[in-house]
Structure 1
Amino acid sequence: MAINKGTIAITIATLALVISCYGAFFKDKPSSLNEPKQQQPSPTISIRTPAQYQQSNEALIDELHKKVSSLQRQIANLKLQTPGSYQDQDTDEFKELVLNVLEEKQKQEAEELREQNPLYGFYADLPKDYDLRIKSEPDYAKQINAQLREQILDPNMADLDRLAALSQLQMNMFILNKSSMPEYDYEVVGNILNLANSSSDEKFKIQAIELTTQAPILDQRLAEQFTNLLERDSNDYVRRLAAQGLVAQYYQSQNQKDDYTQQMAQHLLAVYNDTSDSAVRAALDEMIGNQDILDELRKSAGY
Structure 2
Amino acid sequence: MRLFLNPVMLKEYKLRFRSFKSFLGLMFYLLAVSIFVVGFIFLNSQSMGNSYVRPDTSRIMFMVLSFIQLGLVLFITPGLTAGVISGEREKQTLTILLTTTQSSGAIIIGKLVSSVSFLMLMIFASLPIYSIVFLFGGISPLQLLTVLGYYMFIIFVFGSFGVLYSTLIRKTIVSMISAYGTALFFAAGTAFLLLVSLQFSNGAQGFNPVSYFFAMLNPFAVLFGIFEPGALKDLGRQTGIQFPLWAAQLISYTLLFSAAMFMSIRKLRPKAGSKR
State if a TM-score over 0.5 links the two structures. Answer: no
Give TM-score scaled by structure 2 length.
Answer: 0.22
More helix by share: 2
Give TM-score scaled by structure 1 length.
Answer: 0.21
